[in-house]
Structure 1
Amino acid sequence: MDAPSDLVRRLRDRFVETGYTIDGVRDRLGDMAASALAREEIVPALRATRDADPLAVLIRLWWLGAPVSMAAADLPLQDLIEAGLLVRLGDSVQATVHLQPWDIGTGATGTGDPAYVVSDRKVRPGDPSLRPDHVVGAGGASANLAQLGWAAPVGRALDLGTGCGVQVLHLAPRAEHVVATDVNRRALRLARLSWGLSGVTGVEAREGSMYDPVDGERFDLVVSNPPFVIAPEARYTYREAGRRGDEFCRDLVRRTPRHLAQGGQARFLANWLHVKGEDWQDRVGGWLAETGCDGWAVQRDVQDPAEYVELWLRDSAEHGTSAYRERYDEWLGWFESMNVTGVGFGWIALHDSGSLSPLVRVEEMTQPVEPPAGALVEEVLRAARTAHELSDEDLLDARLKVAEGVVEERVGPPGADDPSRITLRQTRGARRTVAVGTVEAALAGVCDGDLPTRPLLAAIAELTGEDPAAVLRDAPAALRPLIADGFLSVTSTVASLR
C-alpha cells in the first residue's frame, strides 16, 4: 500500500473537487444517515447514496466499504488496484482500506484544506477476524487526544504510537518538526498515506516500541494514544501491549520525563486498574510522583470488569462468535486473579516545569469540559500550585477575583428565608460544580480583585452575624479548594505588592 506520490496527489484532487470532505459528506447524507453513521450504522448511508452520483460513489467506496461499479467510479482504478488500495470484483471494485475525511479545524497545513485518514476497513459483526497488525481508524478517542494535545506552537513534537497518523495531522500546523513512531510497520505505511492525502510533508516516521526509536532525544510535546487496553494477552498491536495489568501505562508515564525538553509537555490517554483495598488515585498519583514533573491525571469514566470486557470484545467484532463466551470468561478470571474491581479511563498530562517540588493532581471529572481540553492543563496546574503555596496569612491578605463564567445557584423550599444548598458552577473551562457555605458565596459575590480578602470577610461576618474571628480562622481551609479548582483567582498577594 505504498502508493506513488503522483497517485496520492491525483486522488486528493479528486476528493477535493468532488466535495469528499466532512461537510460535503454530511450534507450529501442528510442528518439521519449522518447521525446513524456516527453510531457505526451504515444502512441509512447506503440508502442515501444509491443514486451513484460522483460524491455518493466516493462515500460508498471509501467510507462504507461497499463495492461500486467500475463504470461509475471516476478514479484511476488500475493504478489504485496496483497500489493495493482497491480490489476488482468482476465489473466492480472494492476498497481494501477505510479512507475518510477528518476535521482538524484549520486544516493540516493551517490553511483550511481538508484532511484524510487511512486505516484498515472497519470491522463489523460477521466480518472475518481482525489480523494481529490491524490498523484502527480515527474516532472518538482520536478526537479527544487531539483536544487534549492542544498547545501553543512547539519546536519538536512526538506522536508515540501514531497508528493511522491522525495526531500528526493536528500537530503539523504548529510544530516545526514532527516524529511519529509505531511498532506496527503496516500502521506507518497507512499513516504516510494519511499525511500525503492531507498535504502534510516532512514527518519523520520510525518503527519501534515505546521510546526505543527516539532513544536519547527530547521533545517539546509528546502525545500518545497508546495500546492501553488491559487484557490477558496481546492479540492486536493497536490496543494491547502484552504487559500485566496496567504496567504499560505506568511505564509510559515513568519513561516520559527523560524525553521532555526543558518546559516540555506530554499528553496521553490511559487506562488504570481499580484494585480491591487500594485507592485508584493513590495508584495513578504514584506514577506521576515518580516523574519529577508536574502532573494532572483525570478519570473520565470507570467500568466494572464485565463492562470493560464486553466493550473490547465488541471492538474486535467478537460478539456472537463461537469464541465469545470463552474469551469473556477467561478475561474475567484474569481480572479476578488480580482483585480488579474496575478499570478507569482518562488522560494524563505532564509538564517539565523545573519545579523542585512538583505538583501532582489526580481527580475524577465526568462532566463535559470546554474544548480544547489541553488549554486547561497549565491553567489547572497553576491554580493548584497557587492554592498549595499560599500560607493562611498570605491568603487572607491576597486580592481574590471570581473567575469568569462562574454562576451561583440556590436551592431551597419555596418561600424559605435561607437556601438549603448554595452551589457555584463554572460555565467555562473545567465546568466544575461545588457546594459552598454562605460566607464563601458572599465572598464570591463581592471579590473583584480590588480589596484584600481579610476586610471583605470582616464585613461579611458583620452582615451575617457570624463571629469575625471564627470566619477568619475557617476561611483559608474553605477558600483554598476554590482557588485550586479555579472558582477564585489570586490577582495579587502581599509579597507581589512589596
Structure 2
Amino acid sequence: MNDLLGRLRGLLLDTGYTIDGVRERLGDVAATALSREETVPALRATAEGDPLATLIRLWWLGVPVEARRVPTALPVEELAAAGLVAVEDGRVTSAVHLQPWDAADAADAGGYVVSDRKVRPGDPALRPDHVVGAGGASANLAQLASRRPVGRALDLGTGCGVQVLHLAGRAEEITATDVNPRALELARISWALSGITGVDARLGSLFDPVEDDRFDLVVSNPPFVISPAGRFTYRESGFHADDFCRDLVRRAPRHLAPGGTCHLLANWLHVDGEDWRDRVGGWLTGTGCDGWVVQRDVQDPAEYVELWLRDAAEQGTARHRELYDDWLGWFEAANVTGIGFGWITLKDSGSLDPVVRVEEYGGPVELPVGGHVDEVLGAIATAHRLSDAELLGSRLVVAEGVLEERIGPPGAEDPARIVLRQSGGLRRRAVVGTVEAALAGACDGDYPLDPLLAAIAELTGEDHDDLRAKAPAALRPLIAEGFFHISTG
C-alpha cells in the first residue's frame, strides 16, 4: 500500500494536481464557485479531458471519467483493489475525495487530504461513520495553533488527518487519535500521500487512548455540534448539549507537559437568563491553566439547525421538516437562545495564579493567529499579575503597529473620540481617554509610568495623585489586549 501511495503522490505532483495547479487550471470563477459547492463552472473548465482536468474531475469533483482519458501512469487496477476507485463499463469513479491541501509544513511540495466523497443535494444519506474532508474549521484551527517548535504533539479527533499536515514541520513526535476506525484508515492515506511518516495513530474517545501521556501541543477540531442525537461521528459526540466540549477542556490540562498549550474549536450554548461567559469560563475554572476563550460567531437556533442540515445535504429530503422541527423543539425545551462558536486555548504556565480571559471578538485578524498567540497569552497574564505598584514602576512601550485615530466634527479643537487601533495581530480597536492617548505617544520604554503621569498632570493641570489612582484600571485592559507591553530592557 505504501508503495502504491508513493507512486500516486508522484503522479499527482507531476500532473500539477496541487493547490496552485488546480486553481490555475480552474480559473477564478470556477474556483470561487466550488467554495460555494457549485460544480458546474468547474465541470465546464475541465471538459477538455487533459490529464490534470481528468484528475480534478475524478478526485475533487467526484464525477465518473472515461477510462481511456485516465493518465496511463495512474495505477487504476491497484487503486480499485485498495478500494479507492471503482471501475465499471469503461468508467472510473473515485470512492473517496482526494484534495490538495495548502500546508506549508507538509513534506516536499504538496499536502493531500483523503476523506469520504463530498455529499451534495440529491446524494444518498451519509453513513454514520462518514469522514468529512478538510474545510473552513480545519483551516481555522491550523491558523490558531502556536507556531513554536515542539517535542510531542497530539491531534485529538484527527478525522481525515489534516492537522497532522500542519504539525509535521514543527513537532518531533505526533500522536493522532479518533473514535472512528474509518477516519484513522483514511488519515493514514492522507499522511502517506503528503510524504509524512511516523505518526502514532490510536483509536478511542477523548483522551482515553493517551491516558498516561503528556504533550507540548494539543490541537483538536472535535465533534462539537450540539444536537438531540449523535447521528454522525465526525460532528456529533452523543454527549448531552455542550458537555463534550466542557469535558474536553477540563481533561486537557492533565495531558499538557509543563509549558504546554492546547488549542481547540468549540460550540457552546447561550441559555436564557445565563451569561455565556460564565458558562464557558466555568469550564476553565479549576484547570490550573491560563486560558483564552474567543467567541467568533453566534447563531440563533434556526440558523444553526439549517447550517448542519445543509452540511449533511438533508435540506429538501423527506425527513427535512421532521429533523428541523425536532431539533428546534429540543433547543426550545432547554431555553437555548443561541449557539456560540469560537476558540479555546489553555496553557500550562506553571503559575499558582492562573488567569482566564473570555471575550467576544468577531473582527478580522492577521493570519496566522498562532504566530502571535503566545504573545496574547503573555499579555493577558502580565496585565492580571502586575500589582498597581509594579505597574506604576514599570516602563511601558506602545506596541508596534498601533495607530491613533481622532474622530470629531471638522474644525473642532478637541476630538469627540480617540481610538487606538492595531494594524496587525488581532487588529483590535480601543476607545481611550486623553491620558491613555498621551501615554501612547510618550511610552518608549525609557521612563517608568509614574514620572510620565506626573509630566502629563503638569501639562494638563490634572491632579497627579488622581492620575496615579486611575491609571492601573485604565491601562490593564490595554496591556491585556496588546496595545502596550512592559519593557524588559
Give the TM-score taking structure 2 as reference length.
0.97
Superimposed CA distance per residue, residues 175-226 of structure 1 (whole angstroms, 9 cap, x where no aligned partner): 1111111111111110011001011111111111111111211111111100
- The 5 Å alignment of 1:113-192 reads 113-192=109-188
1:288 lines up with 2:303 in the alignment: no
Match of 1:97 in 2: 96
Match of 1:6 in 2: 3
1:20 lines up with 2:24 in the alignment: no
Structure 1 counterpart of 2:91, one-letter code: S
Structure 2 counterpart of 1:70, one-letter code: A
- State how far apart, in whole Å, the 1-side matches of 2:162 and 2:184 are: 11
Structure 1 counterpart of 2:427, one-letter code: R
Match of 2:377 in 1: 381
8 Å Cα contact 1:273-1:343 kept in structure 2: yes
SS at match of 2:100: strand
Match of 2:250 in 1: 254
8 Å Cα contact 2:290-2:381 kept in structure 1: no
SS at match of 1:108: coil
- State how far apart, in whole Å, the 1-side matches of 2:394 and 2:230 are: 54
State the 1:42 CA deviation: 1.1
SS at match of 2:329: helix
SS at match of 1:124: coil
- The 5 Å alignment of 1:195-214 reads 195-214=191-210
- State how far apart, in whole Å, the 2-side matches of 1:433 and 1:477 are: 18
Match of 1:58 in 2: 55
1:473 lines up with 2:469 in the alignment: yes
1:321 lines up with 2:317 in the alignment: yes
8 Å Cα contact 1:99-1:117 kept in structure 2: yes
Match of 1:240 in 2: 236
Superimposed CA distance per residue, residues 344-379 of structure 1 (whole angstroms, 9 cap, x where no aligned partner): 101111111111111111111111222221233321
SS at match of 2:412: coil
Structure 1 counterpart of 2:57, one-letter code: R
1:47 lines up with 2:20 in the alignment: no
- State how far apart, in whole Å, the 1-side matches of 2:33 and 2:410 are: 44
8 Å Cα contact 2:66-2:91 kept in structure 1: yes
Q: 1:108 aligns with which of 106, 109, 113?
A: 106
- State how far apart, in whole Å, the 2-side matches of 1:465 and 1:314 are: 62
Match of 1:413 in 2: 409
Match of 1:68 in 2: 65
8 Å Cα contact 2:258-2:349 kept in structure 1: yes
Structure 2 counterpart of 1:354, one-letter code: G
Structure 1 counterpart of 2:487, one-letter code: T
1:86 lines up with 2:85 in the alignment: yes
- State how far apart, in whole Å, the 2-side matches of 1:465 and 1:329 are: 65
8 Å Cα contact 1:253-1:287 kept in structure 2: yes
1:364 lines up with 2:363 in the alignment: no
SS at match of 1:176: strand
8 Å Cα contact 1:133-1:237 kept in structure 2: yes
Superimposed CA distance per residue, residues 395-420 of structure 1 (whole angstroms, 9 cap, x where no aligned partner): 22221110001001111111111111
Provide structure 1 residue ranges, at least 5 long, that are not aligned to the other structure: none
Q: 2:296 aligns with which of 296, 300, 316?
A: 300
- State how far apart, in whole Å, the 1-side matches of 2:301 and 2:268 are: 12
Match of 1:224 in 2: 220
Structure 1 counterpart of 2:9, one-letter code: R
SS at match of 1:450: coil
- State how far apart, in whole Å, the 2-side matches of 1:231 and 1:376 are: 34
Rate the CA distance shift 1:472–1:262 in 2: closer, same or farther, 3 A. closer
- The 5 Å alignment of 1:405-444 reads 405-444=401-440
State the 1:278 CA deviation: 0.9
Provide structure 2 residue ranges, at least 5 long, that are not aligned to the other structure: none
8 Å Cα contact 2:146-2:374 kept in structure 1: no
Structure 2 counterpart of 1:108, one-letter code: A
8 Å Cα contact 1:296-1:377 kept in structure 2: no
Q: 1:349 aligns with which of 334, 345, 352?
A: 345
State the 1:139 CA deviation: 0.6
State the 1:422 CA deviation: 0.6
1:273 lines up with 2:269 in the alignment: yes
8 Å Cα contact 2:269-2:276 kept in structure 1: yes
- State how far apart, in whole Å, the 2-side matches of 1:82 and 1:356 are: 57
Q: What is the percentage of aligned positions where both structures have the same residue? A: 69
Structure 2 counterpart of 1:419, one-letter code: P
State the 1:457 CA deviation: 1.8
Superimposed CA distance per residue, residues 388-447 of structure 1 (whole angstroms, 9 cap, x where no aligned partner): 222223222221110001001111111111111110011111111110011111111111
State the 1:462 CA deviation: 2.5
- State how far apart, in whole Å, the 2-side matches of 1:391 and 1:189 are: 53
8 Å Cα contact 1:18-1:54 kept in structure 2: yes
8 Å Cα contact 1:359-1:381 kept in structure 2: no
Structure 2 counterpart of 1:85, one-letter code: L
Structure 1 counterpart of 2:183, one-letter code: A
- State how far apart, in whole Å, the 2-side matches of 1:349 and 1:32 are: 37
- The 5 Å alignment of 1:29-44 reads 29-44=26-41
Q: 1:264 aligns with which of 260, 263, 282?
A: 260
SS at match of 2:169: helix
- State how far apart, in whole Å, the 1-side matches of 2:298 and 2:466 are: 40
- State how far apart, in whole Å, the 1-side matches of 2:470 and 2:348 are: 34
Structure 2 counterpart of 1:10, one-letter code: R
SS at match of 2:231: coil
Structure 2 counterpart of 1:272, one-letter code: W
468-477 vs 316-325, which moves further: 468-477
